[in-house]
Amino acid sequence: MHDNIKYSMAEIIGIEINPQEVKEAEIIVGIPSYNEADTIGFVVKQAAEGLKQYFSKYRSVIINCDANSKDGTKEVFLNTSTDQIPKIYLSLPPKITGKGSVLRMLFHKACDMGAKAIITIDADLISITPKWIRNLGEPILEDFGFVAPLYVRHKYDGTITNNVVYPLIRCLFGRRIRQPIGGDFGFSGEIAKIYAQGKYWDALVAQFGIDVWMTTVALAEGIPICQSFMGRPKIHRPKDPAQSLGKMFYQVVGTMFNLMQSFFDLWKMVKWSKPTAIFGFGLGETELPPPVRVDQEALYQKFLLGFKQYHNIWNKILFTPNLNKLNEIKTLRFEHFDFPTELWAKILYDFSVAYKNQVDDQKLILDAIIPLYYGKTLSFVKKTERMSIQEAEELIEYECEVFEKIKPYLIEKWTKMQGYVKVRP
């Protein structure tokens, strides 16, 4: 056992299969998974090749952190040849679920093994190459504590990142981290200890809130951070934002709102953002990511349905001028639909304050944002239909500047609107 982190491994890890009885490792590649039998083998091979090519001088191990997959993920992982790179399979205790819970096993195991650098990569990656392992791991060995990925993504892949998390992280903490919930990270053994202690941990972090929690905690702890250009687009299982992202939205945004409360004394002092160092080459469009289908009509209808389901809640949460502008948007026909960025930022700020002040109804408050998120996503899709990836990136950068410019609105509401107001559906 390394250092003095107190925890019971039996409470964190339900199953451990360690064929080579590896006790220590300097570099760990962790692959979180849930029913990824069809893709994890390829990811494991690329990870092993990356460790052999770029980190042969270090003791390394590949760890599959699994959420009790039922499709044979464990067997595929254990049977995939890694040419002398040892493997460990971990799975959660029964009835425990979530990507955050899965990665918590990795945090504790990394501390237990005394790792210097830990790399996490998604199990459904199609575009990963051995260089991804180098790009996420090498900065950690050069004294960075946390590495976020930087890759070309389709302009409609990552709508929660583009419209919510990137603008908020940048505005609150003053650092431009383009993929704060990218899923593929590098981090040091020292911050693994902080993660393992579980400060600011909750049920949302245990699910899809984990990525933004990792990034935000690293920022709040003053950890040296860089971004690393991955060299290829991120190609995985893309999801239509009209169909697939509601639950993830709830968990990610809820985690962000919780962390806003934890770190208010830090972010209230931040005025503007600054760039974050980039390891490797800059972004380019030499290789385009595959298209992402977006059902615009479904986004539009879900936005309109929100007025029937949540308008009384919006009436209690939103500053009156913001609610009036929202009502105006409702009157726009589909072909002319537009959701102004300044209004979207103020709405998110209003909801973050309501979330802070109305603890008993936090889930309901988060549910009430989702139709508005669908509306903002539809507006973004319409604006960027004829744009290149780079042009869409420029629009996102502009929108982030809007968030920063009106941050005083958030601080004023956050500090003045105290008290408790019961919200009911």
Contact criterion met (CB below 8 Å) for 125 and 33: no
pLDDT of residue 12: 83
3-state secondary structure (DSSP) of residue 26? coil
Domain boundary among 227, 250, 279: 279
Whether residues 152 and 216 fall in one domain: yes
Average pLDDT over residues 183-190: 96
**What's the pLDDT at 294?**
84
Domain count, the chain: 2
Instruction: Tell me which of 42-46, 155-159, 166-170, 243-247 is least confident.
Output: 243-247
In a domain, 4, yes or no: no
Rounded CA separation 155/41 (Å): 28
* Amino acid 248: pLDDT: 84
Q: What is the mean pLDDT of residues 386-414?
A: 94
Please indicate, yes or no, whether residues 192 and 329 belong to a single structural domain of this protein.
no
Do residues 123 and 184 touch, judged by C-beta distance below 8 A?
no
Cα distance between residue 220 and residue 258, in whole Å: 13
Which residues does 181 contact at the CB level (< 8 Å), separation at least 6?
160, 161, 165, 211, 212, 215, 252
271 and 367 in a common domain: no
Q: Is residue 246 predicted with pLDDT exceeding 80?
A: no
Average pLDDT of every residue of the chain: 90
Are 186 and 300 part of one and the same domain?
no
Q: Is residue 383 part of a domain?
A: yes
Consecutive H or E run containing 89: strand 87-91
Hey, which residues does 140 pair with through a beta bridge?
none
Please indicate, yes or no, if residue 3 is contained in any of the structural domains: no
Residue 298 has pLDDT above 50, yes or no: yes
pLDDT of residue 112: 95
55 part of a folded domain: yes
316 and 182 part of one domain: no
What domain range includes position 174? 9-279
The answer to whether residues 258 and 358 belong to one domain is no
Each residue of 125-163: pLDDT tens digit? 888 999 999 999 999 999 899 999 998 777 877 789 999
Residue with tokens 């409609």: 156
More confident residue, 8 or 265: 265
- Model confidence at 171: pLDDT above 70: yes
Q: What's the CATH number where 217 sits?
A: 3.90.550.10
400 token code pair:
């982030």
Same domain, 141 and 23: yes
- pLDDT number for residue 422: 44
Examine the fold and report which residue of 279, 307, 328 is the final residue of a domain before the chain moves on. 279
Regarding whether 406 and 262 lie in a shared domain, the answer is: no
pLDDT digits (tens, 9 = 90+) for 352-387: 999 999 745 888 999 999 999 999 999 999 999 888
What is the predicted pLDDT for the residue at 151?
A: 84
Q: Side chain identity at 416, as an amino acid letter?
A: K
**One domain for residues 311 and 273:** no
pLDDT for residue 285 is more than 70 = no
Note the helical H segments in 182-319: 189-197, 210-220, 246-262, 264-267, 296-317
Asked if residue 140 is part of any domain, the answer here is yes
Residues 6+ apart with CB under 8 A from 312: 424, 425
- Within 71-145, strands assigned E span 87-91, 117-120
State whether 320 and 195 are in the same domain.
Answer: no
- Per-residue pLDDT for 47 more than 90? yes
Is the per-residue pLDDT at 420 higher than 50? no
Say if 290 falls within a structural domain. Answer: no
- The answer as to whether 92 is a domain residue is yes
Residue 302 and residue 181 in one domain: no
Residue with tokens 């760890």: 63
Q: Are 299 and 245 in contact (CB under 8 A)?
A: no
Tell me how far the alpha carbon of residue 263 is from its chain's centroid. 18
Among 279, 312, 328, the domain boundary falls at 279
Cα separations in angstroms, 283 against 126, 167, 218, 280: 19, 19, 24, 10
Assess whether pLDDT exceeds 70 at residue 36: yes
pLDDT for residue 289: 64
- Residue 1 resides in a domain: no
Residues 6+ away with beta carbon under 8 Å from 147 = 135, 136, 137, 139, 140, 185, 186, 187, 225, 226, 227, 228, 279
Whether residues 217 and 350 share a domain: the answer is no
